[in-house]
Structure formats: structure tokens, C-alpha cells
């Protein structure tokens, strides 16, 4: 039997993960990666800009040699079309036959169609070139305007603040920062911290124009003109779906449609990472993850499947943690926000708690704020948001796993968090467990009331 021909279009997190997973699963397959640019560890960018990361590992320059070691062929070229009938991927100069194809074309940064967007000194944050150019520009800049207060914008602002020597302003069209990933309870805490550190935050109004001749000199925000030596757009990304669309593959609002094997509407063609539409692990609705973690996992699953394994993806929770360098705090989140859940007409409650991160008598204990979102009908946690100087990542992973495994809140009251004074607070003091206990009591109370009165049990809050 001839070796299986596997072609992967795209060479960033998803594509890389798929290539190696395919190789681990099938030692003999012919595996080809077609990509016009080398991969990049995108999560590193804020810290490269802030100067915390000084090495070059984030440019993933070692990937080509790792491909070579694993007998994966690398074609540095652009795939311009897919022919599903002939089972070919074409570049300008050549064509590549496949038995299975994986599309991992990623996403591109969105920039609003406003005057001045092409001025020198206005940047998006996506590629190695973007990063190096921003870094260069920072050397001569005294002020920077960040457009978009999502995770990336906030992370960059805080890494630049840690670097020092810059006036930093953030413009966000919504009425608060982190509008889609955090509820306002916690986003306000973060916003206050940024402001206390001297970062100006302008919310509730968008940037309508970039001003300057060749170089950007200011942005127009409402009726204000805000001067700045450079502008960084961090508004979000849009999936690269052209290649798939032109091949007749079904594309949804948030990206290329796939089934739980990551296979598209055309047999033997898969889509993974930022170009693919995900589904929510909580309610199965379409969801955009656009996180490296999901890309890597989808890559692993598609890579296994094209190589003969049978792996499935069960959806995204958009679990994420961020480090705000200047403040030395971690912020993390998973699942639905309260606000989003309400738009899905779920019967949810939220509970905000806080605790220390270690025993209160152990030196160096830090503060931890936790907000838990729980669904009264299913008696399950559906989301969590946290801010703390330590211990956030572990707790976000814990809540993520609990949601993923479908645990009821009553099960989670019995999480046996390990305890030791220098590392954790006493179990009954831990903000996460306090919140879970509250949720458990509330749910029992509501269910009892329902039983005894026949009412709907909807809380008044």
C-alpha cells in the first residue's frame, strides 16, 4: 500500500501541531506543510514588545529543522487554490496531491476602514514583521495609542507600562475594557489598576480617523484629537476562509465549518485553528476561540485523524490566562460570562468572592478575586473569571476541567484542594471553594423553594 499523502496548509500553531501529530500517528505517511510564512508564538508578542522576552524562541526558527528530523516536507509558498475533485492543492508554481488535507490558514487582524489607517506608525499585531516593526518604532516613540481593550490590547498596554518611558492610552468602543471575556465586576478592578498606573483609558467611543501626513500623529476619538507617536490596533481577528470558500467548503459566520473530527463539509478536508469555526463546550453553539490552546488541540486531533486515528474535539471554553506585567497580576477566565449567558437566555447567577492565595499568617500571601457563573437549571458551573497575583492558572484549569467533565456543583463542593500554608489558603477560605459552596447553597435553596411553591425558581437578582 502506498504511503498516505497528507497536506497541511498553514504553518502556525495549528498546522505545526497537526504535522507532528500526524507523524506520531503514522510513521510512513508523506506529510507536506505548505505555508508562506514561518510560524510564530503569538502569545509571546506582548512580552517581546515590553522587553520581558529578549530571546528569539518566539520566532519558532527551529521548526523547519524539527520538520526535517520528523521527515515532514516544508514548502515555503502560498497555497492559492484547492481542487477537491482532483485532490490537489495548488501554489503558483506547483501542485500537491493529497489523500487528506488540513486547512490551517489562520486569521488576519481586523482594522476598521477609517481614514489614515495606512499611515506610517499604525500597526496591527500578528506577524513576526509586525512585532519587529513595532519594537523598532517604540525606540523613538514617546506615546502610544492602543485601539481595542481586549486581552491582547490590555496585555500589550501593561507590558509596555512595565517597560517604562511611554505615555499609554487605550481606546475602546465598548463602555469598559475586556467587554467580551470578563463581566464588569472584574473588568472594573483591572481598569482601575491600569488607570492607577497612569494608563489613560477612553471607553464608549471608537477611533474615527488617524491623523498625520505620512506618519501618524494623532487619532480622532469622538470630538477629541488624541496625539500619539504610534497606534496599535488590537480589535480582533477575522478567519482566513477564502481558500476554503473558493473550494466550495461550507463557511459559517465565525469560520470554516467542521464536524467534531475537525472535518469540513468536504470529505477528507479538515480545518483547524483560527480559520475554523468552533462550537461552545457549554451549549454547542458556534463559537470563535482563536486561542493557541484550541489551535494546538485541534491540530493534534486533525493530525491524528488524517493519519488513521479516531479523535474528536468536544468544543471550546475559551479558557485563557494573561499576565499583566507591570502589576504582576494574573487574570484568567473560562466559559461564559454572566452577560453572554443572559443573551443566550440561560438562568444564571454569579458570585464574586475573594481570599488570600496562601494562609493568612504565611508571609507574602496575595489577594485573589474570583467570580463564578453558574447555571441554575443544569446545576453546573459555566464560567469563571479571576484576578490574582498567583494561583490563577491552576484554578482556571480546574474550573475548565470541571465544566468539561460535566460536573455538577454539588460534586465540586467536594473538590479536595490540596493545602499547605506557603502555597494555598486553608480549603474553607479559598475564594474558589467559597464561591462553589455559595452556588451549591443557592441552588439547593431555589430548588427547595420550587418544590414547595411550584414557582419557577428564577432568582430576583
Active site residue 43: yes
Candidate list 363, 452, 453, 454; residue touching a copy of itself; CB under 8 A = 363
Q: How far apart are CA 88 and CA 101, in angstroms?
A: 9
By CB under 8 A, tell whether 416 contacts a copy of itself: yes
If binding is defined by CB under 8 A, does position 379 make contact with a copy of itself?
no
Give the interface segment with a copy of itself, choosing from 42-50, 205-213, 237-245, 270-278 (CB under 8 A). Answer: 42-50
Closer residue to a copy of itself, CB minimum distance, 206 or 388:
388
Number of residues that bind a copy of itself (CB under 8 A): 70
Contact by Cβ (8 Å): 326, 197: yes
Q: Between the CA atoms of 80, 84, 89 and 93, what dihedral angle is there, to the nearest 10 degrees? A: -70
Contact with a copy of itself (CB under 8 A) among 236, 359, 367, 450: 359
Q: Give me the residue label for grid cell 452577560.
A: 339
Dig out the grid coordinates for 204 from the structure.
464608549
d(CA 459, CA 443): 10
Binding mask 287-326 for a copy of itself (x = CB under 8 A): ----xxxx-xx--xx-----------xx-xx-xxxxx-x-
**DSSP, residue by residue, 263-290:** B-SSTTEEE-GGGB-EEBTTT--EE---
Q: Which is nearer to a copy of itself, 42 or 338 (CB)?
A: 42
Query: How far is 126 from 41, CA to CA, in rounded Å?
Result: 10
Min separation Cβ 416 and a copy of itself, Å: 5
> CA torsion 406→408→414→418, rounded to 10°?
40
The yes or no reply on residue 442 touching a copy of itself (CB under 8 A) is: no
End-to-end CA distance of the chain: 65
Distance in Å, CB of 140 to a copy of itself, minimum: 25
With binding defined as CB under 8 A, does residue 121 bind a copy of itself?
no
Provide the residue count of the chain: 461
Task: Please report how close the Cβ of residue 232 comes to a copy of itself at its closest, in angstroms.
Answer: 19
Catalytic residue from among 43, 174, 275, 418:
43
Q: Which of 108, 189, 426, 442 binds a copy of itself (CB under 8 A)?
A: 426
Stretch that binds a copy of itself, among 28-36, 91-99, 255-263, 400-408 (CB under 8 A): 400-408
Residue 41 binds a copy of itself, judged by CB under 8 A: yes
DSSP state of 215: B
55 binds a copy of itself (CB under 8 A): yes
Instruction: Please check whether residue 114 is in contact with residue 207, taking contact to mean a CB–CB distance below 8 angstroms.
Output: yes
- Candidates 44, 66, 174, 442: give the one binding a copy of itself (CB under 8 A): 44
Q: Is 82 helix (H, G, I), strand (E, B) or coil?
A: strand
**218 half-sphere exposure, CB direction, 13 A CA radius:** 9
To a copy of itself, the closest distance from the beta carbon of 450 in angstroms equals 17
How deeply is 117 buried, as exposed, middle or buried, from its count of CB atoms within 10 A (0-12, 13-18, 19+)? middle
Chain centroid offset of residue 277 CA: 13
Which residues here bind a copy of itself, judged by CB under 8 A? 17, 24, 41, 43-44, 47, 52-58, 291-294, 296-297, 300-301, 313-314, 316-317, 319-323, 325, 330, 332, 334, 359-363, 391-398, 400-402, 404-405, 407, 411, 413-424, 426-428, 441
Hey, which residues are catalytic here?
Answer: 43
Amino acid at each position: 500500500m502506498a504511503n498516505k499523502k497528507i497536506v497541511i496548509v498553514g504553518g502556525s500553531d495549528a498546522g505545526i501541531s497537526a504535522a507532528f501529530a500526524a507523524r506520531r500517528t503514522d510513521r510512513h505517511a508523506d506529510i507536506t506543510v505548505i505555508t508562506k510564512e514561518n510560524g510564530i508564538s503569538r502569545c509571546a508578542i506582548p512580552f517581546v514588545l515590553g522587553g520581558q522576552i529578549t530571546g528569539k524562541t518566539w520566532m519558532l526558527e527551529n521548526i523547519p529543522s524539527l520538520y526535517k528530523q520528523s521527515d515532514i516536507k516544508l514548502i515555503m509558498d502560498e497555497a492559492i487554490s484547492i481542487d477537491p475533485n482532483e485532490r490537489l492543492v495548488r501554489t503558483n508554481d506547483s501542485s500537491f496531491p493529497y489523500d487528506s488535507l488540513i486547512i490551517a490558514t489562520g486569521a488576519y487582524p481586523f482594522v476598521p476602514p477609517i481614514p489614515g489607517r495606512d499611515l506610517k506608525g499604525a500597526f496591527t499585531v500578528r506577524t513576526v514583521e509586525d512585532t519587529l516593526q513595532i519594537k523598532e518604532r517604540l525606540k523613538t516613540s514617546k506615546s502610544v495609542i492602543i485601539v481595542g481593550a481586549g486581552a491582547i490590547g490590555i496585555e500589550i498596554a501593561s507590558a509596555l507600562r512595565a517597560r517604562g518611558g511611554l505615555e499609554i492610552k487605550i481606546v475602546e468602543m465598548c463602555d469598559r475594557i475586556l467587554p467580551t471575556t470578563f463581566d464588569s465586576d472584574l473588568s472594573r478592578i483591572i481598569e482601575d489598576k491600569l488607570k492607577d498606573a497612569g494608563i489613560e483609558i477612553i471607553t464608549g467611543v471608537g477611533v474615527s480617523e488617524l491623523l498625520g501626513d505620512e506618519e501618524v500623529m494623532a487619532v480622532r476619538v469622538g470630538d477629541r484629537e488624541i496625539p500619539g507617536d504610534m497606534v496599535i490596533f488590537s480589535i480582533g481577528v477575522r478567519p482566513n476562509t477564502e481558500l476554503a470558500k473558493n473550494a466550495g467548503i461550507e463557511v459559517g459566520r465565525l469560520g470554516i465549518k467542521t464536524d467534531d473530527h475537525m472535518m469540513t463539509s468536504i470529505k477528507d478536508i479538515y480545518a483547524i485553528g483560527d480559520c475554523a469555526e468552533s462550537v461552545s463546550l457549554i451549549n454547542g453553539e458556534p463559537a470563535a476561540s482563536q486561542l493557541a490552546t484550541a489551535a494546538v488541540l485541534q491540530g493534534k486531533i486533525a493530525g491524528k485523524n488524517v493519519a488513521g486515528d479516531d479523535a474528536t474535539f468536544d468544543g471550546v471554553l475559551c479558557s485563557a490566562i494573561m499576565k499583566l506585567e507591570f502589576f504582576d497580576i494574573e487574570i484568567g477566565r473560562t466559559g461564559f460570562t454572566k452577560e453572554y449567558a443572559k443573551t443566550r437566555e440561560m438562568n444564571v447567577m454569579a458570585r464574586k468572592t475573594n481570599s488570600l492565595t496562601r494562609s493568612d499568617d504565611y508571609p507574602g500571601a496575595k489577594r485573589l478575586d474570583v467570580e463564578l457563573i453558574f447555571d441554575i437549571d443544569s446545576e453546573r458551573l459555566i464560567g469563571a473569571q479571576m484576578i490574582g497575583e498567583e494561583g490563577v492558572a491552576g484554578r482556571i484549569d480546574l474550573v475548565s476541567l470541571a465544566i468539561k467533565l460535566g460536573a455538577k456543583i454539588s460534586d465540586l463542593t467536594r473538590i479536595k484542594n490540596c493545602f499547605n500554608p506557603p502555597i494555598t489558603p486553608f480549603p474553607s477560605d479559598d475564594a474558589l471553594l467559597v464561591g462553589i459552596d455559595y452556588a451549591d447553597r443557592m441552588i439547593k435553596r431555589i430548588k427547595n423553594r420550587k418544590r414547595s411553591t411550584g414557582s419557577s425558581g428564577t432568582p430576583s437578582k
